[in-house]
């Protein structure tokens, strides 16, 4: 492998990640506030329907928070070297998902003023919602600085093999792929086409990958076989690629 390139989140990515995390925290705070309201006002036989509606709304807020938090982590990942920070940053969504429901679940199941049928229905729905929020918040494939560094260098090696040892690619601000050929059909005619190294495209756009159309063309023109590169070609046209 050529000179190792280290992934560093750009200031723009860090700023966007911070904004997403603030929105995620806001969603969880609203969910917890709604949980407090449900505990104080809705745990009774007479308000079962409203309690169920509240649980559904809380679940939507918890899932939104987890989705925003995961998206932020992909823009500004933690390092695997700091194991505590790495764990909590990537699994914080699962923790908050559980906390958005756990007190409510406990109080529903332990409230002696609710009849058995109401307690069973509300308790089951609340437990299911808590499990869904918790599991959805788990990041089973968490991003990290080390993982991104490895992927950048592997992709750089592939591009060099396909592009006469030249680490130069093209991308657009609205796209999610980088391209070997500036005249690629997916970006041809765009008002703004940027170019630079594979790492440059990651720095500006975050997670990125090679356009399959460019990859196929480069392999065909350079007479490169599939076994010569590590990045496989997927079947089908990528009509949305740019």
Q: Locate all alpha helices (DSSP H) within 166-228, ordered by sequence.
A: 198-205, 212-222
CB half-sphere exposure, 126, CA atoms < 13 A: 28
Determine the pLDDT at residue 229: 59
pLDDT over 60 (residue 228): no
What radius of gyration, in Å, describes the C-alpha atoms of the chain?
24
pLDDT over 90 (residue 6): no
Alpha-carbon distance 204 to 182, whole Å? 18
Determine the pLDDT at residue 226: 61
Distances (CA, A) of 34 to 21, 29, 70: 20, 8, 23
Instruction: Identify whether the C-beta of residue 152 lies closer than 8 Å to the C-beta of residue 184.
Output: no
Please choose, from the candidates 17, 89, 101, the residue with its C-alpha nearest in 3D space to the C-alpha of residue 61.
Answer: 101
Cβ-based neighbour number of residue 159 at 10 Å: 25
Tell whether the torsion through CA atoms of 63, 66, 72 and 74 is positive or negative. negative
CB half-sphere exposure, 93, CA atoms < 13 A: 29
Percentage of the chain beyond pLDDT 70 is 90
Residues 6 or more apart whose Cβ sits within 8 Å of residue 67: none
129-149: per-residue pLDDT in tens?
A: 999 999 999 999 999 999 999
pLDDT over 80 (residue 53): yes
The mean predicted confidence, pLDDT, of the chain is 87
pTM of the model: 0.80
pLDDT over 50 (residue 232): no
How confident is the model over 35-58, as a mean pLDDT? 89
Residue ranges covered by each domain of the chain: 11-137, 145-228
Instruction: Identify whether the C-beta of residue 162 lies closer than 8 Å to the C-beta of residue 217.
Output: no
Instruction: Identify whether the C-beta of residue 178 lies closer than 8 Å to the C-beta of residue 198.
Output: yes
């Amino acid at each position: 492998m050529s000179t190792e390139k280290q992934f560093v989140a750009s200031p723009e990515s860090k700023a966007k990640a911070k904004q997403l995390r603030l929105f995620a925290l806001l969603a969880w705070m609203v969910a917890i506030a709604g949980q407090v309201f449900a505990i104080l006002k809705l745990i009774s036989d007479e308000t079962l329907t409203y309690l169920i509606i509240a649980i559904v709304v809380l679940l939507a807020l918890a899932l939104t928070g987890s989705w925003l938090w995961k998206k932020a982590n992909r823009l500004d990942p933690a390092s695997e070297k700091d194991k505590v920070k790495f764990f909590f940053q990537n699994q914080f969504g699962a923790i908050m998902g559980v906390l958005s429901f756990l007190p409510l679940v406990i109080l529903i199941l332990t409230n002696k003023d609710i009849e058995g049928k109401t307690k069973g229905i509300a308790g089951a729905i609340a437990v299911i919602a808590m499990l869904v929020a918790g599991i959805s918040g788990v990041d089973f494939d968490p991003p990290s600085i080390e993982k991104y560094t490895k992927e950048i260098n592997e992709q750089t090696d592939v591009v060099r093999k396909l592009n006469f040892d030249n680490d130069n690619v093209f991308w657009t601000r609205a796209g999610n792929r980088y391209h070997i050929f500036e005249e690629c059909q997916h970006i041809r005619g765009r008002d703004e086409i940027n170019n630079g190294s594979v790492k440059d495209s990651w720095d500006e756009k975050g997670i990125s990958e090679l356009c399959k159309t460019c990859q196929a063309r480069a392999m065909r023109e350079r007479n490169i076989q599939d076994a010569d590169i590590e990045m496989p070609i997927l079947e089908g046209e990528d009509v949305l690629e740019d």
